[in-house]
Chain A
């Protein structure tokens, strides 16, 4: 039997059993579409978590006060301000800490900002010009304050995008913070939120001014020190340099009793990465189960139709079909169903990838690998269960096949 005629016979077989063909195609279609969609959602959420972590600045190290031991009593973490401007000066030294690109001491407090039209409560951070680099932030307008302005206790403020919007102010406007007038010199570019912290709602002032007007306290002590490594590759050595330097200046010989903690955004990043990996595995298992269910559906339809097909096989054999003719016919039938089902499944999956973000505000990122795997598995199931029972029946004696009940 020629290949073309076998193809024709196979197609006629499919059209002659419309319901069976449609059900099989649907089984493959849903399996494939489900995999593409769920893995797409998993990939998109992993991407989104990663980009939020990148927004934190993965080069960022934060030094915060640790527990101290005074008169033999060890206090809780952060129980004292152990960090000083002297530490900041030491970290800025390029000789001692060559891998530290920027240093910014931070004192923070809450205050109400008042513009001509409204007022707004937010976080006020006092810092130095290094803050911008250390946080990997940029300005959408104006300029950050200078070291000169820090030294002069200048009454200047840089506002987050949200804060500026809420207050209805722009660069050049005036706001009052805790009753004192400040010039708005710059507005920060939007950076989004990280967890519960809105990075766009804050006011940044020179550290000296903050100590005078907002936070109070000794002009020498700082609450936190932000460091940025020169690149993500040098973050490890920047960490060690900072650690050594602070142990030395604080006269601590045993690093276990250090009165400060250094945390990095990359430790957060690795935690988050493992969380998203878990999430992706979860979604992939859901997808695998839908593929399995689709596969079992296909298998069922194929196996149920075997009795009917066995009689057909017996008849065709009696009329002169060889086992090879029959195998080819069923291979073409199963391959067509699998191919069409797989193709429609990819189409449905891609369509869902467009519709789901619009309807449900969930991002979907479609990558080729799950598409290929889903189609391969679904088509494989369709092929195996389409061909195997038929191939077995094709080996029966024609008369036994004809009499199958």
Chain B
């Protein structure tokens, strides 16, 4: 049986106080096993972004427990969270978030700067080869198409060999052809053993996942994949 990577237990995230209290994430429990491909679906305002921040260790829950790969991250300080993000999680954002002043391989190298790593250049080149961008390693982000930029971002998520890849609306800014390419890469990565959590509002995108959960008003419910 595959090891459990994510264990959320009655996790809530509350903003504001008094009458203005918003329970963005309300008593959510969730388990993700190694090798899973999970899609979190829901319309905007459903709390899926807040859930993604908590899953990505970008934010800590107000209450409840979050165990990530056996470690209790809900009580960690900023420094420990930074280390978890660096070692365990690869991020893919809707806006790509590449640094415009750097070439593709320098962007992919970025997370390696915050850990001990040799041959950073070679690791970055390998990751770019995995997303099929070997011939674009010296290009700047503004010289690449949207789909290529997102593939650079995926390479950056891959380069640290993370426990989980967390993709937040990875196709949100792409046309359908580029979206297909990106989703194919994510599917391929899952087949080769990577755990992937995909956040999206689009049922067609969510359809590539093995398992889909739906978020509405801060609560979560399982949905059998169609």
Contacts and interface: CB of A to CB of B under 8 A. Distances in A.
Given A399-B53, A402-B93, A319 B101 contact: no
B99 A323 contact: no
Interface residues of A, number: 25
Interface of A: 1, 5, 9, 12-13, 15-17, 311-312, 314-323, 325, 397-399, 402
Contact of A320 (B53, B82, B99): B82
Contacts of B78: 322-323
Contacts of A322: 78-79, 82, 114
Given A17-B101, A311-B97, A318 B58 contact: yes
A398 to B, nearest CB: 5
17 contacts: A9-B113, A12-B106, A15-B101, A16-B102, A315-B97, A315-B99, A316-B114, A319-B85, A319-B156, A320-B85, A320-B87, A321-B82, A321-B114, A322-B78, A322-B114, A399-B53, A399-B59
A325 B83 CA distance: 12
Nearest to A16: B101
B115 interface: yes
Interface string B24-58: 00000000000000000000000000000100101
B216 interface: no
Residue of B82, B91, B97, B115 most packed against chain A (CB within 10 A): B82
Interface of B: 53, 56, 58-59, 78-79, 82-83, 85-87, 91, 93, 97, 99, 101-102, 106, 110-111, 113-115, 156
A317 B93 contact: no
B106 A316 contact: no
A405 B174 CA distance: 21
Contacts of A402: 93, 97
B208 to A, nearest CB: 24
Given A1-B113, A320-B85, 13 more contacts: A9-B113, A13-B101, A16-B102, A316-B110, A319-B85, A319-B91, A319-B111, A320-B111, A320-B115, A321-B114, A322-B82, A399-B53, A402-B97
A312 B99 contact: yes
A132 B102 CA distance: 78
Contacts of A9: 113
A15 B113 CA distance: 18
B82 A317 contact: yes
Contacts of A321: 82, 113-114
Nearest to B79: A322
Contacts of B91: 318-319
A323 B79 CA distance: 8
10 smallest beta-carbon distances between A and B, as pairs = A320-B86, A16-B101, A320-B114, A319-B111, A399-B58, A322-B82, A315-B97, A320-B85, A398-B58, A321-B114
A1 B114 contact: yes
A402 B114 CA distance: 18
